[in-house]
C-alpha cells in the first residue's frame, strides 16, 4: 500500500504522455482507436447474441464499456458525440443480456458534457500540464471508479433553506410511510431523521450535497421506489434534491422523534419537572427490557404507538428513546416509581381509557407485574441503542437465547415468507438441506445439488479464516442459500424481499439482521461448479464474520470476505490497477476514520477501504489479534470492546493509524 501513490503517479504520467498527440478536433489518436474498438465490440456482441452465445456477447459488451471509458477520460464533448451511437447500443444490449442471466458492470448513457472554456496558454505548457488526479471526469460510466460529484463543493447553507420537518418529512411520510415508517422493509426505517440518515444495513442513502451519490434519489428516479403504485411527483423529487444539495439539514428539536409528528413533541417531563434520564442496565436487574418488556410492547402497542402512521396521544414507542420521551400527557415512565408511572396507570385502567385500546384484550397481571418490576428496578436499557426499533431489539434478544435448532427453524420459516414475495410467478421451488445450509430456489434440482456441494466444499476455506462450531452451529443455525436461475430473478428477489436494487455486476450477496442469515445468488444450468464456488466464497465468508456477534460492522465482514476471495483468485494487471485506483480515491474522500466508521462514505468507497483494512488484519502481523477479536465477539462482547481488547486500540485509533501508514 505504501507504493500505491507512486504507482498511480507513474500511471498518470504515462497516460498524459500518450494522450498529448491530438488532432484538430482535439481528439487524440488513442481516443480514436478506442472509439473504433468500442463500435467493433458492440457489433460483435450483436452477432454473438443472435447466435445465442450470451456469455460471449457479455464479454464483448464488457470490452465495449472498457473502450468507452478509455476514450471518454477527458470528458470531451467531441468525443461524446462520436461515442453516443455506441453507448446507446451498449445500453440496449446491457438490458437484454441481463435478462438472459449475464452479469455485467453498471452502465448508463451519461448526460452530454458542456464544452470547457479555452485556456489562454502556450502550447508547450498545455501539453505538459497533467490533470489533477482527484478531479472527476465530466461524465463517468462507472460510478464505482470516480465520485460523481464533490460534496465539498456543495453549498452548506442557503438563505431559503428547505425545512426538513415542514417540507421533506411530509413527502417521505406520504410516499414511503407504508413500508419504511409503519415498517422497515429491507431493514430500512425512516421513522425518524436519525434512522433516515443512518440508512439500511447496506449503507447510507443520503449524502449531503451529493444527489447523484444518494441512493434515495437514485431509487426514486429509476422508478424502483416507492412500490405499490405510488409515485413521487417531479416537484417533490426536485424538493428532495434541493434539500440534499443544501446540506440535508435537520431543523427539528430531536432527530429521534417521529417524522410524522413534524418537529416532534417537546421532551416530556416527569412529575417533578425533569426529563427521565436513560440509564444502561447494570446486570443486576431481574427483568430485561429487551427480552421481557419490548416483546410485550411490540405485541400490544403496535399500530397505535409503535410503527404507526399517526401516533396516538403523541406517544411514539417505536424505540426506547420515544418511550422515555413520552407523549402529549408528559412522561409515561418514572424510573423507580411504577405506581406513579402513567404507563402502569393506563394498562391498569386507573387513568382515562385503559390501554391497549381498540378492543384488544387487557394485559395479564403477570405482564403488568413485569413492567412494574422493570420500572421499580430503574427502567434501564439493555438493548443495543435507545434508537433501535423495539421490534428489532426484541427479536435479537430472542435470538441470543435461542438454540441452533430454533434458529434454523425460524430461518426456514423466514425463507418461505421471503420466497412468497420473490416467486410471484409461482415457479416450482426446489429445496435441499446440508450440514451447514438450507437451500431453496427456483433453479433446477440439479443446479441446487451443484450449489449445495460447492457451498459445503467452500466451508474449508471459510473456516480457515473464521473459526466456529461444527455443522449447524457454525452460523448459529443453518444459513439459507437462495438459488435463482436468472439475473432477473436475483434482481427481483432484492427488490421484493430487501426493498432495494443491487448493482448490475453483482451475482451474489449476503445478509444478516441478527436472526436471518442468508446468501442470495444466481446459478444457471450453464454454470459449472468452479464458477458457482467462486460466486459463493465471498458471501459465505462475509456471513461467517457477521454472525460472530450482534454488532459486527458491515465494513469488517464485507472487507474480510472481499480480501479472502481476492486471495484465492488471481487478479490480472488491469483488475489490480482498477482496485488500487478505487482505494486511493476512497482514501482521499475518507478524510478521517470517523467518516468511514460512521458510514458517511458511499457503499463502494466503504467496501474498498474495508477490504484494504481487512487485508492488513489478515496478514501475519495482525492475524492473531484478528482471531482473538472474533473469539471475543463469539463470547458475547460488543465489537468496540472486542476490537480494543484484541488490538490494544479503539477502531477509530486503529483506522487513523492505518491511514497514516497508507499515506506514508
pLDDT digits (tens, 9 = 90+) for 219-269: 888 777 776 656 788 888 888 988 888 888 888 877 877 777 543 444 455
Residue 143 pLDDT > 50: no
Of the pLDDT bands very low, low, confident and very high (cuts 50, 70, 90), residue 276 is low
Greatest mean pLDDT range, 9-23, 39-53, 490-504: 490-504
Residue 410, pLDDT score: 95
Residue 173 has pLDDT above 90, yes or no: no
Cell of 241: 434534491
**Per-residue pLDDT reduced to its tens digit, 449-474:** 999 999 999 999 999 999 999 999 99
What does the pLDDT average to over 107-122?
Answer: 60
pLDDT confidence band for 573 (50 / 70 / 90): confident
pLDDT band at 414 (very low <50, low <70, confident <90, very high): very high
- Asked whether residue 486 carries a pLDDT value surpassing 90, the answer given is yes
Per-residue pLDDT band for 100 (boundaries 50, 70, 90) equals low
What residue ranges in 341-422 does DSSP mark as E strands?
none
pLDDT for 275? 56
Give the whole-angstrom CA distance, residue 637 versus residue 643. 9
Per-residue pLDDT at 442 = 95
Beta pairing class for 517-522 and 479-484: parallel
Q: What's the pLDDT band for 491 if we cut at 50, 70, 90?
A: very high
Which range has the worst mean pLDDT, 183-197, 396-410, 454-468?
A: 183-197
Return residue ranges of the chain for CATH 1.10.390: 404-663
Q: How confident is the model at residue 642 (pLDDT cuts 50, 70, 90)?
A: very high
Domain 404-663 has CATH 1.10.940: no
Q: Is the pLDDT of residue 137 over 70?
A: no
Q: CB under 8 Å to 547, separation ≥6 — which residues?
A: 475, 476, 479, 512, 517
Write down the residue that cell numbers 460466486 correspond to: 535
Over the stretch 544-570, which tens digit does the pLDDT of each residue have?
A: 999 998 889 999 999 999 999 988 776
How is 103-142 classified by DSSP, letter by letter? Answer: ------PPPPPPPPPPP---HHHHHHPPPPTTPPPSS-S-
Q: So what's the pLDDT on residue 160?
A: 55
Considering 38-47, 65-74, 516-525, the range whose residues carry the highest mean pLDDT is: 516-525
Taking 60 as the threshold, does the pLDDT of residue 402 lie above it?
A: yes
Label residue 571 by pLDDT band (50, 70, 90).
low
Query: Is residue 4 over pLDDT 90?
Result: no
pLDDT value of residue 457: 97
Rounded to an integer, the average pLDDT of 378-401 is: 86
pLDDT surpasses 70 at 35: yes
Q: Report the mean per-residue pLDDT for the chain.
A: 80
The reported pLDDT for the residue numbered 310 is 64
Residue with cell 505548457: 125
> What was the pLDDT predicted at 215?
81
Q: Are 438 and 408 in contact (CB under 8 A)?
A: yes
Which range is most confident: 114-118, 452-456, 511-515? 452-456
Work out the average pLDDT over 304-308. 78
| Cβ density class 435-463: b for 16+ within 10 Å, e for less | ebbbbbbbbbeebbebbbebbeebbebbe
- Per mean pLDDT, which range of 39-43, 146-150, 654-658 is the poorest? 146-150
pTM: predicted TM-score of the whole model, two decimal places: 0.58
Give the model's pLDDT for residue 225. 76
Mean of pLDDT values over 509-531:
93
* Beta-carbon count within 10 A of 291 CB: 17
Distance CA 385, CA 321 (A): 9
Q: Name the pLDDT band for 115 (thresholds 50, 70, 90).
A: low
Give the pLDDT score at 334: 93
pLDDT for 480: 98
Say how many residues make up the chain: 664
What average pLDDT score do residues 358-363 get? 86
User: Predicted confidence band at 138 (pLDDT cuts at 50, 70, 90)?
Assistant: very low
Lowest-confidence region among 128-132, 174-178, 266-270: 128-132
Name which residue leads in pLDDT, 586 or 98: 586
**Which sign does the torsion angle of CA 417, 418, 424, 427 carry?**
negative
Name the DSSP class of 481: E
140-167 mean pLDDT: 49
pLDDT tens, residue by residue, 327-342 = 888 889 999 999 999 9
Whether omega before 226 lies within 30 degrees of 0, making that bond cis, reads yes
Distance CA 251, CA 262 (A): 10
172: confidence class by pLDDT, cuts 50, 70, 90? confident
Q: In the prediction, which pLDDT does 184 show?
A: 65
Amino acid at each position: 500500500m505504501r507504493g500505491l501513490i507512486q504507482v498511480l503517479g507513474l500511471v498518470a504520467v504515462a497516460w498524459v504522455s500518450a494522450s498529448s498527440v491530438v488532432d484538430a478536433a482535439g481528439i487524440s489518436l488513442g481516443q480514436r482507436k478506442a472509439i473504433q474498438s468500442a463500435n467493433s465490440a458492440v457489433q460483435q456482441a450483436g452477432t454473438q447474441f443472435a447466435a445465442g452465445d450470451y456469455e460471449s456477447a457479455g464479454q464483448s459488451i464488457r470490452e465495449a464499456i472498457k473502450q468507452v471509458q478509455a476514450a471518454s477520460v477527458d470528458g470531451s464533448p467531441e468525443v461524446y458525440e462520436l461515442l453516443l451511437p455506441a453507448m446507446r447500443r451498449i445500453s440496449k444490449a446491457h438490458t437484454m443480456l441481463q435478462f438472459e442471466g449475464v452479469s455485467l458492470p453498471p452502465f448508463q448513457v451519461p448526460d452530454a458534457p458542456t464544452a470547457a472554456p479555452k485556456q489562454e496558454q502556450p502550447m508547450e505548457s498545455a501539453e505538459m500540464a497533467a490533470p489533477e488526479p482527484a478531479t472527476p471526469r465530466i461524465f463517468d460510466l462507472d460510478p464505482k471508479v470516480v465520485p460523481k460529484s464533490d460534496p465539498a463543493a456543495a453549498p452548506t447553507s442557503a438563505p431559503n433553506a428547505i425545512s426538513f420537518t415542514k417540507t421533506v418529512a411530509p413527502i417521505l411520510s406520504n410516499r414511503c410511510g407504508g413500508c419504511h415508517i409503519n415498517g422497515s422493509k429491507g431493514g430500512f426505517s425512516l421513522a425518524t431523521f436519525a434512522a433516515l440518515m443512518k440508512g439500511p444495513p447496506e449503507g447510507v442513502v443520503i449524502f449531503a450535497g451529493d444527489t447523484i451519490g444518494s441512493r434515495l434519489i437514485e431509487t426514486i428516479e429509476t422508478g424502483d421506489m416507492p412500490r405499490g403504485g405510488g409515485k413521487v411527483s417531479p416537484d417533490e423529487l426536485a424538493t428532495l434534491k434541493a434539500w440534499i444539495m443544501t446540506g440535508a439539514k435537520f431543523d427539528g428539536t430531536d432527530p429521534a422523534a417521529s417524522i410524522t409528528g413534524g418537529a416532534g413533541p417537546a421532551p416530556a417531563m416527569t412529575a417533578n419537572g425533569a426529563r427521565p434520564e436513560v440509564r444502561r442496565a447494570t446486570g443486576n436487574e431481574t427483568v430485561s427490557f429487551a427480552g421481557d418488556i419490548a416483546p410485550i410492547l411490540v405485541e400490544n402497542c403496535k399500530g397505535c404507538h409503535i410503527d404507526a402512521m399517526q401516533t396516538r396521544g403523541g406517544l411514539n414507542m417505536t424505540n426506547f428513546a420515544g418511550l422515555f420521551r413520552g407523549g402529549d400527557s408528559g412522561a409515561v415512565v418514572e424510573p423507580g416509581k411504577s405506581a406513579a408511572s402513567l404507563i402502569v396507570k393506563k394498562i391498569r385502567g386507573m387513568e382515562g381509557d385503559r390501554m391497549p385500546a381498540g378492543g384488544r384484550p387487557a394485559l395479564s397481571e403477570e405482564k403488568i407485574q413485569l413492567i412494574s418490576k422493570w420500572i421499580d428496578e430503574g427502567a434501564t436499557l439493555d438493548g443495543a441503542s435507545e434508537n433501535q426499533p423495539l421490534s428489532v431489539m426484541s427479536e435479537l434478544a430472542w435470538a441470543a437465547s435461542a438454540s441452533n435448532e430454533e434458529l434454523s427453524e425460524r430461518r426456514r420459516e423466514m425463507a418461505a415468507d421471503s420466497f412468497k414475495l420473490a416467486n410471484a410467478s409461482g415457479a416450482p421451488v426446489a429445496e435441499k438441506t446440508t450440514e451447514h445450509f438450507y437451500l431453496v430456489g427456483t433453479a433446477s434440482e440439479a443446479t441446487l445439488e451443484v450449489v449445495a456441494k460447492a457451498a459445503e466444499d467452500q466451508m474449508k476455506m471459510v473456516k480457515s479464516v473464521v473459526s466456529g462450531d461444527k455443522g449447524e452451529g457454525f452460523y448459529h443455525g443453518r444459513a439459507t442459500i437462495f438459488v435463482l436461475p436468472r439475473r432477473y430473478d436475483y434482481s427481483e428477489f432484492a427488490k421484493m424481499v430487501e426493498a432495494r436494487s443491487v448493482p448490475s455486476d453483482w451475482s451474489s450477496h449476503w445478509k444478516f439482521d441478527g436472526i436471518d442469515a442468508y446468501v442470495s445468488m444466481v446459478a444457471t444450468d450453464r454454470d459449472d461448479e468452479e464458477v458457482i464456488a467462486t460466486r459463493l466464497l465471498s458471501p459465505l465468508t462475509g456471513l461467517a464474520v457477521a454472525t460472530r456477534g450482534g454488532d459486527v460492522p458491515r465494513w469488517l465482514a464485507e472487507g474480510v470476505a472481499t480480501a479472502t476471495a481476492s486471495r484465492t483468485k488471481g487478479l490480472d494487471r488491469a483488475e489490480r490497477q482498477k482496485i488500487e485506483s478505487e482505494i486511493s480515491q476512497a482514501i482521499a474522500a475518507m478524510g478521517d476514520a470517523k467518516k468511514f466508521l460512521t458510514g458517511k462514505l458511499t457503499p463502494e468507497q466503504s467496501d474498498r477501504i474495508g477490504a484494504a483494512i481487512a487485508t492488513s488484519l489478515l496478514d501475519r502481523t495482525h492475524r492473531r489479534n484478528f482471531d482473538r477479536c472474533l473469539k471475543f465477539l463469539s463470547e458475547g462482547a460488543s465489537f468496540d470492546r472486542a476490537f480494543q481488547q484484541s488490538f490494544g486500540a479503539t477502531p477509530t485509533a486503529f483506522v487513523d493509524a492505518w491511514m497514516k501508514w497508507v499515506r506514508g
